[in-house]
Structure 1
Amino acid sequence: MTSPSFSVTAPGDVEAAVTAAVSTGIPAALSDLGTLVRIPGIAWPAFDQTQLVRSAAAVAELAEGTGVFDSVRVLRAAIPGTDEVGQPAILARRAARNGKPTILLYAHHDVQPPGADELWETPPFEPTVRDGRLYGRGAADDKAGIMAHIASIRAVAEALGDDLDLGIAMFIEGEEEYGSRSFAQFLTDNEDALRADAIVVADSGNWDSDTPGLTVSLRGAVRFTLTVRTLDHASHSGMFGGAVPDAMLATIRLLNTLWDENGSVAVEGLTVRDAATPEYSEETLRDETGLLPGVSPIGDGTILSRIWNKPSVTVIGVDATSVAAASNTLSPEATVVLSCRIAPGQSADDAYAALQAHLRAHVPFGAELSFSDVDLGNPFLVDTSGWAVGLVRGAMADGYGTAPVDLGIGGSIPFIADLVERFPGAEILVTGVEDPHSRAHSPNESLHLDTFRHAVATEALLLTRMNEITL
C-alpha cells in the first residue's frame, strides 16, 4: 500500500474520546502489567518453562478481554533443524471491514533472567512503584509493550464502538530474549493471520522519558562461543610455567587484538555506517550508563555514532577456573562468549566471517580455536518515506506533546529481517516504552509511568487515524 486515501470525520471529537479513554484506562493497564510482571517467564532451559505457559495464558486472556478479536490462539512453532518446538506465542486477529487497512502489533512476553537477587533493591518479580517508576523484571522489556497494545486497543474500542473497522492482528512472542528460534517458522505457519499493511514492533526505546523516539536503524548481532586450547591436559604451573602457554594466556592475548588503544573495534572487514547523529554529551552518557567517574568512554567519533553506526565487541561470558577453585595449574582450555554488534548495512554472515578470520589470523602460540553456538541477526534500516512513518510521527507528537526524534539503536532486533522478508509490502514501525533509565536486561529494570501513558496515547491515536484510512 503506497498511497492510501484519508477520509476523516469529526477527528477532534473522535480523538478527544480516544484520549479520554486512554486516561481512564491507565490504572487498569498498570494493574494488569503488575500481574504479568509477577510471572517469571524465562525461555532459558535452566528455568521453569511452565511459567511461560502461565504467561501466555495470561496474555491471551487480556486479548480476549478487549472484545475486539475474531480469534485468540496460543500457538507454538517448530525450531528449524531440531526436534523441538518454540515457546508459546499468542496470535489474535480481527478482520478489517469496509476497505480499512490491517495493523500487526508485536511484543514479547518472555523476559531476561533476573541475575543476582542481591543487586535488586526490590524483588525482581514483585512489581514496585517508587519515584514515578514501576520496578520489576519485564516491567519495561517487554511486558509494558504488551500492555501498551492492550490498553490502546481497549481505548479505541471504547471510543469508536461499532465504528472500529480497522483490521488488527497481535503477535506476542514467547522467546525473543532467547533468540526467537521459532520465529521464522511461526511466520511461515501463520502467514495469512499475520499479514498486515503496517507492523508496530513495540520493543525499543525513546530519546528520554519525555521525548518519543522512532527507531529507524538497528545494529545487527553476531554472537558465538570461542574455545581456545593449548594443552591436552592440565599441568603444574610451577613445573612448566614460563615455557608452556596455558589457555588463559592465549585467550587474553587473542582477545586483546579485537580492539585498538582507544577501545574501537580493530577487525578488518567490519564496516561503519556514515550517518549524522543528534547532539549527545559525555555527561548524558555517564548519567544514563552509570560510568564511573575515573573511567573514560571508549571509541572515536561522536558518541552516538559509536553506539548506532559502528561495530562493538563485548565478552559476555567466560568459562575458566573460578577464583574459589584456583590452583597452581596451567589450564588446557578456556571458553568465552563474544557478543558483537555490527553496523547497519552489513550482513551478519559477512561480519561473522570477518571476525572468524581475524581470530584465526591473530591466534597466539599456535593455539587451537573452535567456534560453536553461532547466532546471527542482520541489522535494519527503516524506509522513512512511507505513509505509516508519517502517521506514527504525528501520533507521537500528539501523544507525548513533543516532536519525536529519529533514533538509531545500538541493540539488535534480528527478527525484523524475517518480517521484512515475509511481508515486504508492510511498513515496519519500531517503537517502545523504554527510556534511557529503564535498565532493560539489568537489575532494577523499570518503566517510567508517564512515558507509558504517553506511549499508550500515541498508539491509540495511531490506531484511530489508521481507522480513517481507506485502501
Structure 2
Amino acid sequence: MTSQLSAEPQLIEAAEGGIPSALADLGRLVRIPGIAWPAFDQEQLQRSAREIARLAEETGVFDEVAIRTATIPETGEQGQPAILATRAARNGKPTVMLYAHHDVQPPGDEALWETPPFEPTVRDGRLYGRGAADDKAGVMAHIASLRALRETYGDDLDLGIVLFIEGEEEFGSRSFTRFLADNAEAMRSDVIVVADSGNWDSETPAVTVSLRGNAKFHLTVRTLDHASHSGMFGGAVPDAMLATVKLLATLWDDEGAVAVEGLAERDSDTPAYDEDTLRSETGLLAGVAPIGGGTILSRIWNKPSITVTGIDFTSVAAASNTLSSEVTVVVSARVAPGQSAQDAYDAMERHLRAHAPFGAQLSFSDVDLGNGFLVDTSGWAVETARGAMRDGYGRDAVDYGVGGSIPFIADLVERYPDAQILVTGVEDPHSRAHSPNESLHLDTFRHAILAETLLLARANERTV
C-alpha cells in the first residue's frame, strides 16, 4: 500500500491538477438556484441534489450514493433532499464524515448584484454568484479532495468516508434531527468535518473553535383592538409602533451593547483585530462608530447580540394618518458560546415582558433555538487538521471564533458524542455570504482543497 510519506507529493499534484475541473463543476452548481424556501421552485433543489449525487458517484470512492429525505418532526412534512454517500472503513482505519450543504440563500434584490446572482462570474481573482462560497464551494472542496485521493490511492484507500450534503441548512435544517435518527448507523463517524465556516483572511486558514448559538422569535405588540385616527386621538392613545420602538430600545445600552439581564458572555482571549479591519470587512460607513465594549472580536465571538431582522407594518407607500393597533417584529439573537439558547430566549422574554410600556400586550411565536458550540481541541483530528492547513496554505492556522451559528453541530454532538468535530471552510471575510455579490476567493479555494486532501490522507494513516 502507498505510504503517506511517499504519496503526499503525488496527492498534491493530483489535487492541484483537479482544480480546473472542480471550478467548472462549481460553476455548474452555482447556476442551479436551489433555495429551500417554499416560495421558490423546489425542483431546483432536486436538480441540485441529482447533480451532486452524480459527482459523488463519479469519484469512484463510495459503496453507496443516495438522495434521501426525512420528515420534519413538527409538521410531518418531508424535508429537502440530502445526498448521503458512504464507504466502509477497512483495516481498522477511522471513518470521516464530510458535511456541506447545497441549498443557498435567496438572492435578495437583484439590482444590488453587479452580475446576475446565478451566473458564475470571475473577476479580480474571485468567483461571484449565490452559493459560490456558502456552501457549494464546501461541496466541491469535498469532491475535489476525494478525486485526488482516488487518483493517488486507487483501491488502497482504507479510510471510511461519509459524504453528507444537506439541502435545507439555510432554511433551518428542519428535518436534520430526524435525518440523523433515520441514518444513524450509516453516518456514524470518528471525525466530522463541517465545511461551512470561514478563514482569518484569504491567505490564512482557520480552525473554528467556537460558535455562537441563536434564538429567533416573532414579537407582536398590541395596544388597541382597532386602528384609530392619529389626529383625533394622537397624544392620548399609545399606538403599537410607539410601544414597539420604546420596548425594543430597552434591549441595548447607549453604546449598543446588549442590556438584557441573564444573557451570558464568554470570557476568552481574542487575537488582535483593529477598527480599520472591521470597517474594511463590513463596509461600516465613515462616521458610524462600532457598537459594544471590549475587544472587537470579543463582541463578535464571545458576547450576545440582538438584531431586529423583520417587521410587519404599513409600508411607506401606503402610510396613512393612523394609530396602529399591532406591530410584529422578528428578533434574532446570537447567544454566547456556553449558554443554552433556551436560557437566552427565556431571559429575553422576561426582559420584554418586564419592560412593556403603557401596559402593551405582548405575544411570542415562531421561536427557533439553536445552541452554540465549543470545540474540544485536544484530539488528534484538530492537530492533524492544523498540520494539513499549514501545508496546504503555507501558513499556520488561526484558532477562530465565529459570530454566526451552526446549530445542527449540537445535534451531531448529541448523536455522536465520541466523534471529533472539525469546523472548517472556504470563505474569507470578503465573501459576503448571504449578501449581494457573494464571492469565493479562488486561491483560498485552491488551498482549502489541498489542506483537506492532506487531512484525509493523514487520517488514512491512522488506526482506531
Q: TM-score, normalised by structure 1?
A: 0.98
What does residue range 281-300 of structure 1 map to in structure 2 within 5 Å? 281-300=274-293
Q: Tell me whether 1:400 sits opposite 2:404 in the alignment.
A: no
Q: 2:98 aligns with which of 80, 101, 105?
A: 105
Say whether the 8 Å CA contact 2:157–2:460 is kept in structure 1.
yes
Q: Tell me whether 1:445 sits opposite 2:438 in the alignment.
A: yes
User: Aligned partners of 1:156 and 1:83: how far apart in 2?
Assistant: 40
* Residue matched to 2:160: 167
* Residue matched to 1:75: 68
* Residue matched to 1:51: 44
* Residue matched to 2:357: 364
Q: TM-score, normalised by structure 2?
A: 0.99
Q: Tell me whether 1:217 sits opposite 2:192 in the alignment.
A: no
Q: Which amino acid aligns with 1:76?
A: T
Q: Secondary structure at the match of 2:413?
A: helix
Provide the aligned length of Structure 1 versus Structure 2. 464
User: Aligned partners of 2:316 and 2:135: how far apart in 1?
Assistant: 35
Q: Secondary structure at the match of 1:191?
A: coil
Q: Secondary structure at the match of 1:470?
A: coil
Q: 2:259 aligns with which of 266, 270, 283?
A: 266
What does residue range 108-257 of structure 1 map to in structure 2 within 5 Å? 108-257=101-250
User: Aligned partners of 2:113 and 2:238: how far apart in 1?
Assistant: 40
* Residue matched to 1:5: none
Q: Secondary structure at the match of 1:350?
A: helix
Give CA deviations for 1:295-329 in whole Å, capped at 9, x if unaligned. Answer: 00000000000000000000000110100000000
User: Aligned partners of 2:327 and 2:198: how far apart in 1?
Assistant: 36
CA drift of 1:9 comes to 6.5
Q: Which amino acid aligns with 1:231?
A: L
User: Aligned partners of 1:227 and 1:470: how far apart in 2?
Assistant: 55
CA drift of 1:146 comes to 0.2
What does residue range 75-94 of structure 1 map to in structure 2 within 5 Å? 75-94=68-87
User: Aligned partners of 1:422 and 1:112: how far apart in 2?
Assistant: 27
* Residue matched to 2:346: 353
Q: Which amino acid aligns with 2:59?
A: T
User: Aligned partners of 2:39 and 2:362: how far apart in 1?
Assistant: 27
Q: 1:417 aligns with which of 374, 399, 410?
A: 410
What does residue range 427-438 of structure 1 map to in structure 2 within 5 Å? 427-438=420-431
Q: Secondary structure at the match of 1:469?
A: coil
Q: Which amino acid aligns with 1:66?
A: T
User: Aligned partners of 2:166 and 2:250: how far apart in 1?
Assistant: 38
CA drift of 1:82 comes to 1.1
Q: Secondary structure at the match of 2:162?
A: strand
* Residue matched to 1:3: none
CA drift of 1:414 comes to 0.2
* Residue matched to 2:330: 337
Q: Which amino acid aligns with 1:431?
A: T
Q: Secondary structure at the match of 2:249?
A: helix
CA drift of 1:10 comes to 4.5
Q: Secondary structure at the match of 1:447?
A: strand
Give CA deviations for 1:321-346 in whole Å, capped at 9, x if unaligned. Answer: 10000000011111100110010110
Between 299-308 and 74-83, the greater mean CA deviation after superposition? 74-83
User: Aligned partners of 2:325 and 2:53: how far apart in 1?
Assistant: 50
Say whether the 8 Å CA contact 2:177–2:411 is kept in structure 1.
yes
CA drift of 1:51 comes to 0.8
Q: Which amino acid aligns with 2:214?
A: A
Q: 1:34 aligns with which of 12, 22, 27?
A: 27
Q: 1:65 aligns with which of 55, 58, 66?
A: 58
Q: Tell me whether 1:376 sits opposite 2:407 in the alignment.
A: no
Q: Tell me whether 1:320 sits opposite 2:313 in the alignment.
A: yes
Say whether the 8 Å CA contact 2:69–2:79 is kept in structure 1.
yes
* Residue matched to 1:4: none
Measured at CA, do residues 157 and 9 of structure 1 come closer, stay the same or move farther in structure 2, by a change above 3 Å? closer
CA drift of 1:81 comes to 2.1
User: Aligned partners of 2:74 and 2:137: how far apart in 1?
Assistant: 32
User: Aligned partners of 2:249 and 2:30: how far apart in 1?
Assistant: 40
Report the aligned-residue RMSD: 0.8
Q: Which amino acid aligns with 1:400?
A: Y
CA drift of 1:13 comes to 2.4
Say whether the 8 Å CA contact 2:340–2:372 is kept in structure 1.
yes
User: Aligned partners of 2:74 and 2:38: how far apart in 1?
Assistant: 18
Identical counterparts, % of pairs: 75
CA drift of 1:162 comes to 1.8
CA drift of 1:11 comes to 3.1
Q: Tell me whether 1:388 sits opposite 2:408 in the alignment.
A: no
User: Aligned partners of 1:365 and 1:55: how far apart in 2?
Assistant: 51
CA drift of 1:470 comes to 1.8
* Residue matched to 2:459: 466
User: Aligned partners of 2:421 and 2:123: how far apart in 1?
Assistant: 34
Q: Which amino acid aligns with 1:73?
A: A
Q: 5+ residue gaps in structure 1? A: 1-7
CA drift of 1:83 comes to 2.3
Q: Secondary structure at the match of 2:250?
A: helix
Q: Which amino acid aligns with 1:426?
A: A
